[in-house]
Amino acid sequence: MADARGRAFRKTHAKGVADVRQWIGKWWGDDTSDLAIRELNIPVPQPSTIKRYSADEAFRAAFRNKRDSDLHSVLKYAAWTWLNKEKTVAMPYQSELVWFEQQIFFPQTAESEFKTYYHPLGGEFDQTKAQVIRRGDNEVSATEGLICTIDVYGKGTNIEVGNTQPLNLLSPLVWLLSKRAVWFPYPTGLRPANFELKAHGIRTVTAYEITHAKLE
């Protein structure tokens, strides 16, 4: 099924459900019949309302990462706004809050002499267990695994925006840290370099929701 090959298959745009399924299949494997993929049309903040949105703390948080383009950030805010309105139930270990840039740890192997280490902030960290890293914790070791940063996370959903790979998008689903994965690709014809936040004409973005029948 899923392995580290996903790092080689980055993608920024989509051409429909069939295209997304083919892309995922390069990492997941040839048989993706257990994956349900559907399109979602999500509203995007309009240039005429940017000034009003800019007073919103969540809007400012979406633009806080200076490495992100305006296109990435505005879609991230659109994703956060949409997910907050969804009725999806949070996973048992999640709060009802929806977070930007949530870190998640995925083990690379279940057999390791370093599978447990004493966390500098107290307690132990099990490196054989996929888990959500507590907010503000910068001391987690990834010597026996991989730490991925999820663009938007909460309510049983993980969301990736723009340039991503199946490894990041689907690992939370595979490891039962979410009930569905959603990808917000960049709109057709748009790239970060030719996007103008205060003069764009995007009303909605087509996102792709992915669920797995046997993992629900």
- pLDDT block averages, 10 residues each, the chain of length 216: 57 96 90 94 90 85 92 96 86 78 79 44 67 72 78 94 94 90 96 91 95 77
Structural domain of 19: 4-99+156-212
Give the pLDDT of residue 50. 81
69 domain residue, yes or no: yes
Give the pLDDT of residue 112. 42
17 domain residue, yes or no: yes
144 domain residue, yes or no: no
Distances (CA, A) of 186 to 4, 36, 74, 89, 161: 24, 21, 11, 27, 8
For residue 192, give the amino acid letter. Answer: P
* Strand ranges, E, within the chain: 35-43, 99-107, 116-118, 124-126, 131-132, 145-154, 157-161, 180-184, 204-212
195 domain residue, yes or no: yes
196 domain residue, yes or no: yes
194 domain residue, yes or no: yes
- As for how many domains the chain has, the answer is 1
- Residue 69 near residue 192 (C-beta atoms within 8 A): yes
